[in-house]
Structure 1
Amino acid sequence: MACQFEIYFSAAQYPAGTEWASAALDLVEQLEEQLSVYRPQSQLSEINRSAGRRAVPVEPWLFGLLRQAQTISAQTHGAFDMTTGPLSRAWGFCARSGPDPVDHDGADQASAVRPAPRDRTRPGRRVPGAAQLSSALARVGSERLQLDEQTDSIRFLTPGMEINVHGIGKGYALDRCAALLRSAGMQDFLMHGGQSSVVAAGSHPALPGRGWAVGIRHPLCPDRRLAELLLRDRALGTSGSGTQFFRHRGAEYGHLIDPRTGYPAKGVYSVTVLARTAAEADALATALYVLGPEGARQHCATHPHRAMLMVGPGPQEGAVTLHQHGLTANDWRQLADPTAE
């Protein structure tokens, strides 16, 4: 998952909390061994090697994750898809990125949005030709996956397909860790993966009954917080292309690719989603980024347990526009003028 995971809790409230937190972090490493496509021995790598030829049995927890990813793909009309590997390769976005920088003020706040856009042009990133893009698109689509619930197995219905759970895996790991901590009797904690995925249970000791405060950075001014969200027994996921993109002939192309068109999504700086589980929030943050303001609003309107805060370009240079749906006055507050200084 290529990022740092951290857990916050009150040691006074949970004397054995450190032991359980260590167990949770050990679980993250175990899940990395299973989910990483960069480890040849992982179960995901085995699926990608073999599922084009035969049905591959899958560990039950992982099968549940694949089923959840396929369901979210259908709910978002393909805006989220775990089979976009051929498209990422066509655009040159397959090189593994390093961990996100961690920048916490303390246990009561966690930054959930990456820093302002920087030019991350790297060798190998390119605009693919029409034939290459068409070939990649022919191998993309969760509807081309056969998931058999009777045998907990997966098979690719189209040759050359591959799956990657990078858009939902961190959230899944957080959900598994949260279940472990809750089983130990811990009801008040916050855990994040790379700052962009957060799960919060109960409340911070300084905010009894209110939850945990999570800050949203201004996408154009990373030293300023644009908004603050309060999470209580809820999860958060954020997606954006601020640190993974390249420029070509004056145009900017980000790493979040629309699986339906094969081109990088545009017109949004970041999307933060609040949902019941971290896996759900993770996947939806990518999907709503791809769908854009109106599509995201329509999705949230038909799924009332999901909420979002989208940050897009403002009416003039240096400004941003906030789009929110499903958030109440108790869920969030704006901290900064949306115009960058």
Structure 2
Amino acid sequence: DLTHGTTGERPPLDLPSSSAAAETFLVQFSRWAMACEFQIYLTAQHPPHAPEAAMAALDLIERLEDQMTVFRPDSEISRINRQAAMSPVEVEPQLLKLLGEGVALFHETEHAFDVTAGPLSKVWGFHRRQGRLPPADELAAALACVGSDKLHLDPQAGTIAFALGGMEINLGAIGKGYALDRAAERLTGRDVGNFLIHGGRSSVLARGARIPWAAEDNPWLIGIGNPLRPQMDLGNIALCDQALSTSGGRTQSFHHEGQRYGHILDPRTGQPATGVVSVTVVCDSAATADALSTALYVLGPERTEAFCRRRTDVAVLLATEGHGAGQLQTHAWNFRPGVWRPHRQGT
């Protein structure tokens, strides 16, 4: 249970449900990990060894959960959280690289993404899905322990250290995407070129084509759900050799004195982020998409637009509440022509 309630809005995948399914997919593999269902879809004309490779990819996701979860005392992240305030802790190389990427994203997103925000999630009760309004002193104490600039990474020694006690790392906002990236590497390393993987339907990675033998381009179509009207989609995103992540604060929240408090917290203030309904990010890395969908939800429309001017390789769909009840206003940046396909009611 890595993310434990930190998944975003659920964008329903556009998966075939008719007899065409037999022509499009031959095998679907599923595994429960990180508090959600991971699925791998292979095209019908896959290599003979592809099913074995898919199972190996799911096995890898399970091992990554064992490494990254904060809910098991014997995980590597739990060991880091216990020891890194006392002395530098040696870290597995790929995990150390991920932590370094997290620190880089912390700086790139104006501190809106922060792998050290775990104390805030705990004090708000979202850590165990028991949301509550925290006392001011508890919130202040938790906020004092947050900040990726307080992490000391030493790539040469392969270690991490915390600047002060009470800090902890939680990879819930980047871990699923990282697992998808690693699983995709496992599949492509076995010469499996056409597949789709998702974790909880909020993090998605696609390689190759959905129908590789079709004469025309045939990307994987990902339906982006309307969080205010679950029976409707905002539109589809055509995904090819990229990853996608959606975050929204309505999947886990609580009400207090008539006000709703969502689980996506601004690590700079310790307060739930407001003003955005959902954010979908498309880019080359699933881990980056995962982290940015959370960060841009925190930053809001204006700062997201500024971010997208700097990072033209990142496409973003951001939804805010419209003027009418149940209405959404969508903002799209950096999508190539034909990739974002809005439905009429979603614009």
* TM-score, normalised relative to structure 2: 0.88
Q: Post-superposition shift, 1:15?
A: 2.1
Question: Which residue matches 1:201?
Answer: 207
Q: Does structure 1 conserve the Cα–Cα contact (< 8 Å) formed by 2:233 and 2:346? A: no
Match of 1:44 among 77, 84, 96: 77
How many residue pairs match? The answer is 312
Q: Post-superposition shift, 1:330?
A: 1.5
Q: Post-superposition shift, 1:61?
A: 0.7
Q: Does structure 2 conserve the Cα–Cα contact (< 8 Å) formed by 1:224 and 1:336? A: no
- The reply on whether 1:303 has 2:329 as its aligned counterpart is no
Q: Does structure 1 conserve the Cα–Cα contact (< 8 Å) formed by 2:235 and 2:346? A: no
Q: Flag structure 1 segments of 5+ consecutive residues without an equivalent.
A: 97-123
Question: Which residue matches 1:81?
Answer: 114
Q: Post-superposition shift, 1:141?
A: 0.3
Q: Does structure 2 conserve the Cα–Cα contact (< 8 Å) formed by 1:225 and 1:336? A: no
Question: Which residue matches 2:236?
Answer: 228
Q: Post-superposition shift, 1:179?
A: 0.5
Separation in 2, partners of 1:160, 1:219:
35
Question: Which residue matches 1:69?
Answer: 102
Separation in 2, partners of 1:209, 1:47:
46
Separation in 1, partners of 2:249, 2:131:
14
SS for the counterpart of 2:165 is coil
Question: Which residue matches 1:24?
Answer: 57
Question: Which residue matches 2:276?
Answer: 268
Question: Which residue matches 2:166?
Answer: 160
Q: Post-superposition shift, 1:58?
A: 0.2
- The reply on whether 1:144 has 2:179 as its aligned counterpart is no
Q: Within 5 Å, which residues of 2 pair with 1:1-341?
A: 1-95=34-128, 124-205=130-211, 208-338=216-346
Q: Does structure 1 conserve the Cα–Cα contact (< 8 Å) formed by 2:229 and 2:326? A: no
Separation in 2, partners of 1:41, 1:130:
32
Letter in 1 for 2:120: L
Q: Post-superposition shift, 1:228?
A: 0.2
Letter in 1 for 2:265: I
Separation in 1, partners of 2:137, 2:229:
39
Separation in 1, partners of 2:161, 2:139:
23
Q: Flag structure 2 segments of 5+ consecutive residues without an equivalent.
A: 1-33
Q: Post-superposition shift, 1:336?
A: 4.1
SS for the counterpart of 2:134 is coil
Q: Which string of whole-angstrom CA distances, capped at 9 and with x for unpartnered residues, describes residues 259-286 of structure 1?
A: 0111000111110001110000000000
Q: Post-superposition shift, 1:328?
A: 2.5
Q: Does structure 1 conserve the Cα–Cα contact (< 8 Å) formed by 2:211 and 2:218? A: no
Separation in 2, partners of 1:51, 1:335:
49
SS for the counterpart of 1:179 is helix
Q: Does structure 2 conserve the Cα–Cα contact (< 8 Å) formed by 1:3 and 1:194? A: yes
Q: Post-superposition shift, 1:11?
A: 3.6
Letter in 2 for 1:241: G
Q: Post-superposition shift, 1:125?
A: 2.2
* TM-score, normalised relative to structure 1: 0.89
Separation in 2, partners of 1:186, 1:302:
34
Letter in 2 for 1:126: R
SS for the counterpart of 1:330 is coil
Separation in 1, partners of 2:286, 2:318:
18
Letter in 1 for 2:163: L
Letter in 2 for 1:192: H
Between the aligned residues of both structures, percent identity stands at 48
SS for the counterpart of 2:232 is strand
SS for the counterpart of 2:126 is coil
Q: Does structure 2 conserve the Cα–Cα contact (< 8 Å) formed by 1:87 and 1:136? A: yes
Separation in 2, partners of 1:217, 1:204:
20
Q: Post-superposition shift, 1:172?
A: 0.3
Letter in 1 for 2:284: R
Q: Does structure 2 conserve the Cα–Cα contact (< 8 Å) formed by 1:11 and 1:18? A: no
Question: Which residue matches 2:3?
Answer: none
Q: Does structure 1 conserve the Cα–Cα contact (< 8 Å) formed by 2:220 and 2:239? A: yes
Q: Post-superposition shift, 1:178?
A: 0.4
Q: Does structure 2 conserve the Cα–Cα contact (< 8 Å) formed by 1:78 and 1:259? A: yes
Q: Which string of whole-angstrom CA distances, capped at 9 and with x for unpartnered residues, describes residues 221-256 of structure 1?
A: 112111100111111011111220000111110000
Q: Which string of whole-angstrom CA distances, capped at 9 and with x for unpartnered residues, describes residues 58-98 of structure 1?
A: 000100110111111110011000111111111111116xx
